[in-house]
Amino acid sequence: MITLHTVLDGWNLIRTHGRNLDLRHADLRGADLARADLRGADLRHADLRGADLECADLCGAVLDSADLRGAVLKRTNLIDASLREADLRRADLSHSDIRGATLERAALRGAEVWSAFIGHASLDGAHLDGVDMSRADERGRTTTHADAPQPREVPADVPGGRD
């Protein structure tokens, strides 16, 4: 296992490969991790704000309490990943595979989960208001006690709006 505790702000790690990397508390703000093989990586408490993780393989990775605000996670493999209490506000998870992942108490406000596979993912206690789950495959998803997305209020001046 490789252990790395350093600031990698804005680094291009596009060719990063290595299962079970220890990146706990790493500062990876704005890092280019597109297509990186991070299977089983330990990214607990890592700062990944604005990072590009498009098409990365994070199968079985641990991202508990990681800060992923505004991160790009399009087409990312997050199968069986742990994202407990992760901050995914405004993150783009569209077309990602999140089957079997744990997102308990995760903050997903304003996240894009468009056309993602989220079957058998645990979203217990997750904050889902403002989340776009259009065309998401939700078969088997569990959301006990999650904040369900709230319907948007229609202004009174719009036909069919409130009186």
Task: Find all residues with CB under 8 Å of 93, minimum gap 6, and list them.
Answer: 73, 74, 76, 78, 111, 112, 113, 116
Residue 96: C-alpha distances to residues 31, 90, 112, 114 (Å): 19, 15, 10, 9
Q: Is residue 80 part of a domain?
A: no
Residues 69-83 have pLDDT tens digits of 999 999 999 999 999
Q: Is residue 94 part of a domain?
A: no
Residues in the chain: 163
Higher pLDDT, 159 or 4: 159
pLDDT the model gives residue 12: 44
What's the CATH code of the domain at 45?
2.160.20.80
- For the chain, the domain total comes to 1
Residues 15-58 have pLDDT tens digits of 445 578 899 999 999 999 999 999 999 999 999 999 999 999 99
Domain that holds residue 7: 1-72
